[in-house]
Structure 1
């Protein structure tokens, strides 16, 4: 299993299948770009110069590069941070939580739309980042100010950044590899976590006990264990995201799919930040 954002695009999901499809596109016996048709009209010196010329880079060929993904991810995170700051410092106290709830709903809808679009829409992806920023700004203000846990937001941000860096280093070093066994484990774990979260949400909505700000099953000792497990899941998802991006770059994905890659990373990072926020709140006695 991979991030649904990447799973919906073949070049991220299954490069072998993409290569097979490209291979089927060439008919047996058809003349290739290196055959007589492509070279007709050129003398030997010109052909020799063409063949000895350096290969075009991904950027020159209109393909996705790591730099594309980095720049677009940084841009989306800047949008998240800007709208989060707006929700924290500009929106009045009486409207902050309604704005955060609206941001969460809009972000959820846009997240689904962007995840299942075959061709990425930069405008919708940026709007998703803005909506998530409003939500994060509101909920972060509530936990730090209203729940009187000063400094918790910076702690969660630093924890998210450190985990991101650690996952990237581990992935680049080859010490953690995305294998079929790894993906099967992640599929089962994500399914179990989703069911648990839905049960917790249902209990919270129907007032089934518990005084935690995150629901009756996300407070106390159980909440701490679940929080650690959720952070581990988010870290595992980051590893899978990195692997999907690597396959996309190596598979020659179109440059526009850098938006899809950046969007997928932001989705995972937002989730990770929220899980750290919950976990740190419990550790500091704010459940």
Structure 2
């Protein structure tokens, strides 16, 4: 199979993002991706803490979270099409997403003390479990496996997009965001798919080490952030639903 036809559920690792970079002399390294990912996670933490602190001071952070989410979407689009800008857009994406996560997490903390930190812990543990499963080849990333995860991811994102659009018309999709067993089941599926998407990302990055230019480490970092943040959001939503129901 041509590497340029290799697929993943994460848009950050779509073929178009990586096409035509094999001739560079300064190549992407695993250590570079790890360092940049840790750096961006620190940025996420800083902006998250800032908005979190505002919430606990009684300040309305609606605009922080909304603009943070909007900025993250715009920066993701820029990163997808302007790869050499990734050294700027990836850190800015991390900061923007942190603004969203700060409000999202702080409100969860106000409802259920300690819940966000538990979700962070679950996300970290899940990340390393997926990494071990990938490295030990306990789960093989086959063509069929990729197709299933890609299809599931696209379906989930379409459902979220539709629910977001409907919210502007005052229509709430309680069968997704409520605490019914169906809503909990949907959340569990979404969290599992987000976890398995990490395997596809690991595999794709592994195939690109020493094959693409150094600046693409920032694109890889952005891609991992997309999946990790999605996983954290799903885990926190699921834990909130269980806390409310039980």
Q: Where does structure 2 lack aligned partners over 5 or more consecutive residues?
A: 1-6
SS of the equivalent of 1:150 reads coil
Matched residue, 1:247: 207
Matched residue, 1:225: 185
**Which fold has the larger relative contact order, with Cα–Cα distance below 8 Å and residues 6 or more apart in sequence?**
2
Matched, 1:95 2:60: yes
1:251-272 C-alpha deviation (Å, 9 max, x unpaired): x221111111111001111111
SS of the equivalent of 1:285 reads helix
Matched residue, 1:270: 229
Q: Where does structure 1 lack aligned partners over 5 or more consecutive residues?
A: 12-16, 23-57
- Using the size of structure 1 for normalisation, the TM-score is 0.76
Q: Aligned pair in 2 of structure 1 residues 222, 206: CA closer, same or farther (>3 Å)?
A: farther
Q: Contact 2:90–2:222 at 8 Å: present in 1 too?
A: yes
1:190-235 C-alpha deviation (Å, 9 max, x unpaired): 232123223333444433456xxxx552222122101110111111
Where does structure 1 differ by over 4 angstroms across 4 or more consecutive aligned residues?
none
Matched residue, 1:259: 218
Matches of 1:181 and 1:130, distance apart in 2 = 35
Taking only aligned residues, the RMSD between alpha carbons, in angstroms, comes to: 2.3
Matched residue, 2:18: 10
Matched, 1:117 2:117: no
Matches of 2:80 and 2:34, distance apart in 1 = 19
**Equivalent of residue 155 in structure 2, options 192, 203, 215:** 192
Q: Which has the larger radius of gyration?
A: 1
Give the C-alpha shift of residue 117 in structure 1. Answer: 2.1
Matches of 2:240 and 2:217, distance apart in 1 = 34
Alignment of 1:1-287 (within 5 A): 1-2=7-8, 3-7=10-14, 8-10=16-18, 62-90=26-54, 93-145=58-110, 148-208=111-171, 215-220=174-179, 221-250=181-210, 252-285=211-244
Give the C-alpha shift of residue 236 in structure 1. Answer: 1.5
Give the C-alpha shift of residue 63 in structure 1. Answer: 1.6
SS of the equivalent of 1:176 reads coil
Matched residue, 1:38: none
Q: Contact 2:21–2:213 at 8 Å: present in 1 too?
A: no
Q: Quick check: which one's helix share is greater?
A: 2
Aligned residues: 236
